């Protein structure tokens, strides 16, 4: 117990540096384990649709009033973000794809940090075609709902939206193979440090 809690000595550090073969072997083994996990329990596919959001500050606030512009952006962005997760939109997606609303909000869908310019609508699924269709439908339904809110006067009339990417959208694994390789190698190397430093060879 005292050996584990004590600081490593110079001899321990030298032994750690001399174990370079063990480090190389550990990195390779860790990467192989990470690759095996990736192919056995692959992460879901992730698709991304993009909506361009233009708040048109020059028209909404023609005078140079930075504080008013800041609050305008914050208010309108918050409105749009709430609309993106609105029950009506989630209900429509749930009915069309047969996915519970709770699962859509917690597991399937993600929205990039809302601001002016491109908003990215992400959807995850084990089937890449479903992921792409889900992301595309979410983005298009969002734009339709916001336009209806603009017409009703609930969203500023100067806010303009355009779906810029909803067909043949990029779809890839939510976590790349390189992430698993790096995690496996790093995890195995951390374990190797404890093996080399805290496990004494039997004399």
Among residues 73, 172, 163, the alpha carbon closest in space to that of 115 is found at 73
Q: How far apart are CA 203 and CA 200, in angstroms?
A: 9
Position 2 scores a pLDDT of: 43
Q: How far apart are CA 137 and CA 125, in angstroms?
A: 14
Q: How far apart are CA 53 and CA 168, in angstroms?
A: 20
Q: How far apart are CA 64 and CA 133, in angstroms?
A: 42
* Position 191 pLDDT exceeds 60: yes
More confident residue, 57 or 172: 172
* Position 123 pLDDT exceeds 60: yes
Position 116 scores a pLDDT of: 62
Residue 112: which H helix or E strand, with range?
none
Position 182 scores a pLDDT of: 87
* Position 4 pLDDT exceeds 70: no
Taking the CA of residue 26 as centre, how many other CA atoms within 13 Å lie in the half-sphere pointing to its CB? 17
* Position 26 pLDDT exceeds 90: no
* Entry pTM: 0.75
Number of helices and strands in the chain (H, E) = 9, 5
More confident residue, 3 or 89: 89
* Position 7 pLDDT exceeds 60: no
> Which of 10-19, 44-53, 109-118 is the most confident on average?
44-53
Q: How far apart are CA 120 and CA 141, in angstroms?
A: 14
Read off φ and ψ for residue 106, nearest 5 degrees. -95, -30
R_g of the chain computed on alpha carbons: 26
pLDDT averaged over every residue in the chain: 82
Structural domains for the chain: 2-41+177-198 (no CATH), 45-173 (3.30.70.1130)
Q: How far apart are CA 3 and CA 175, in angstroms?
A: 39
pLDDT band at 6 (very low <50, low <70, confident <90, very high): low
Per-residue pLDDT tens for 126-154?
Answer: 999 999 999 999 999 999 999 999 989 88
Q: How far apart are CA 132 and CA 138, in angstroms?
A: 10
Reading the block at residue 105, the tokens are: 């909000």
């Amino acid at each position: 117990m005292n050996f584990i809690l004590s600081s490593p000595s110079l001899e321990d550090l030298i032994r750690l540096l001399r174990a370079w073969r063990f480090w190389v072997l550990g990195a390779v083994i860790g990467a192989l384990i990470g690759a095996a996990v990736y192919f056995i329990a692959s992460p879901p596919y992730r698709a991304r649709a993009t909506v361009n959001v233009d708040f048109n500050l020059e028209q909404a606030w023609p005078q140079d009033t930075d504080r008013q512009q800041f609050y305008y952006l914050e208010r309108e962005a918050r409105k749009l973000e709430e609309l993106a997760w609105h029950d009506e939109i989630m209900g429509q997606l749930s009915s069309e794809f047969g996915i519970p609303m709770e699962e859509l909000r917690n597991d399937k869908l993600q929205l990039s940090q809302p601001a002016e310019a491109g908003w990215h609508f992400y959807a995850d699924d084990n089937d890449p075609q479903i992921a792409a269709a889900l992301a595309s439908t979410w983005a298009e339904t969002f734009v339709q709902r916001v336009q209806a809110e603009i017409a009703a006067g609930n969203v500023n009339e100067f806010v303009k939206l355009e779906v810029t990417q909803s067909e043949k959208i990029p779809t890839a694994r939510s976590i790349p193979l390189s992430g698993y390789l790096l995690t496996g190698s790093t995890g195995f190397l951390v374990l190797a440090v404890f093996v080399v430093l805290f496990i004494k060879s039997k004399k």
